[in-house]
Chains A and B, each alone.
Chain A
Amino acid sequence: MEEIKAVDIQIFPYRYLKPETTEKILNSIYSLGKDIIRVIIHGQSLPKYVYYGPARGTPVNHPDRKVINVNGKDVELTVKVGKFIITVPYEKSVELSKKLDEICKKALPFGYSLNMGAFTKVKPTVSDYLKYGEGFEDKIDPRLIGMVDPTSRTSDKVKMIKGD
């Protein structure tokens, strides 16, 4: 497999975000152009139905489980966003992290921390082989490695959004 020289930039806001703020940040990230390889949003999952206790099975109707529009594409948020991991090419990482810092300064008045490093998997592991089978490395988009666990559907978890 061809080695991708990419690094991750992690944005860690000091508060959990509203869908509106998430939408704003994601659109600003996508406006940075084609250099962005991949964006991951991470946070606490928002269940559709109550899964435990006497109210089991009742719909939750969480106001933050919303459909947001990212770069013209509708995405259903299934998490309360607490973290962004943005994968960028190594040679442009410093330049892009400065731009991301600017975006965060405007959108996150309550504070955040921005770190650069490896926050995602760099090599396939057992769960990837379970999902895709042996010898899959050359057959799929390398950005999908480590993104979805074997028990869930890829289409639920990954959205392909074209950058500008």
Chain B
Amino acid sequence: MKENYKPQFYPGETIIGENRRKHMDPNCELKKLREISDDDLVRVLGHRNPGESYKTVHPPLEEMDFEEDAIKDLVEPIEGAKEGIRVRYIQFADSMYNAPAQPYDRARTYMWRFRGVDTGTLSGRQVIEIRELDLEKISKWLVETEIFDPATCGMRGATVHGHSLRLDENGLMFDGLQRYIYDEKTGHVLYVKEQVGIPLDEPVDVGEPLPQEYLAKITTIYRKDNIGMREDKEALEVVETIHVARSEGGFGMNSFKHDLKKRLGEE
């Protein structure tokens, strides 16, 4: 059974559908666009100081005594869980102006690609919670590959407002706390605050914003001024099928209609 099953990830015959499939497919290597050092990333995350050891919430699993449990033998724990490291988070906000990812796409991507994550979807932001050790590895991938754009995506732990607003004159998404600034001399985006808004000692360079034309090609957002959802027949068909199935199933139309007709005296 397992060999026959081939995941399809996402419907859609346009480039948007294709991009979403690329994000979700764990075998698809995403292009690496920038390099950020481990220490810099740790500073932006703000959970510990670079070089500091991880805080733990329980002793390593090997040293703990458990009752016999078949599930514990079946499931291999992730690195952070083995060490008993605490759970921390990273949260992204993605602009509606052709950001490479968006919350629902991120949720599905996280679930397909990573183990042991807890992710939460909101309209403008997507949080991922996992053991801190694994979080740093995941964050590095999320920031260095083409799933991230310095201008239209932001690492924002709190006060995320800005995803649905116009961009500013430099092409950056609005941020009331101004965690990152555009350096007009170098054309790079610099993080001057960590994700919740506490100032950093030294700015962290996350590279140049991607050009608008390139963003339009790698985005996973259907937009009327780029590629509208109505242009994508296949995606629309799937969405409509789900909508109909949910409505009919949810209201129990097929089960209750005879009953209703009887009450109305029609049958």
Q: A interface vs B, CB < 8 Å?
A: 13-18, 21, 44-47, 50-55, 58, 60-64, 80, 82, 110
Given that A53-B159, A55-B196 are known contacts, is A60 also in contact with B178, CB under 8 Å in the complex? yes
Interface size, chain B (Cβ < 8 Å): 20
B168 touches A80 (CB 8 A): yes
Q: B interface vs A, CB < 8 Å?
A: 157-159, 161-162, 165-169, 174, 176-178, 181, 193, 196-199
Give the tally of cross-chain contacts (CB within 8 A).
67
Pick 13 A–B contacts, CB within 8 A, sort by A: A16-B165, A16-B169, A17-B168, A45-B176, A50-B159, A52-B159, A53-B196, A55-B158, A55-B193, A55-B198, A60-B176, A62-B177, A82-B166
Majority DSSP secondary structure for residues of A touching B: loop
A53 touches B166 (CB 8 A): no
B198 touches A80 (CB 8 A): no
Q: Tell me the nearest residue of chain A to B194, going by C-beta.
A: A55
A21 touches B169 (CB 8 A): yes
CB distance from B242 to the nearest CB of A (A): 35
CB distance from B155 to the nearest CB of A (A): 13
Given that A16-B168, A55-B197 are known contacts, is A62 also in contact with B158, CB under 8 Å in the complex? no
Q: Which residues of A contact B165 (CB under 8 A)?
A: 16, 44, 82
Q: Which residues of A contact B168 (CB under 8 A)?
A: 15-18, 80
Task: List the 4 closest A-B pairs by CB distance, nearest first.
Answer: A53-B158, A55-B197, A16-B168, A55-B198
Q: Which residues of A contact B199 (CB under 8 A)?
A: 58, 61
Q: A16-B167, A54-B198, A110-B169 are in contact. List 8 more A-B contacts (CB 8 A).
A: A16-B166, A17-B168, A47-B177, A52-B159, A53-B157, A55-B197, A58-B198, A61-B199
CB distance from A148 to the nearest CB of B (A): 21
Q: Which residues of A contact B157 (CB under 8 A)?
A: 53-54
Q: Tell me the nearest residue of chain A to B182, going by C-beta.
A: A63
CB distance from B83 to the nearest CB of A (A): 25
CB distance from A51 to the nearest CB of B (A): 8
Q: Which residues of B contact A64 (CB under 8 A)?
A: 178
CB distance from B189 to the nearest CB of A (A): 14
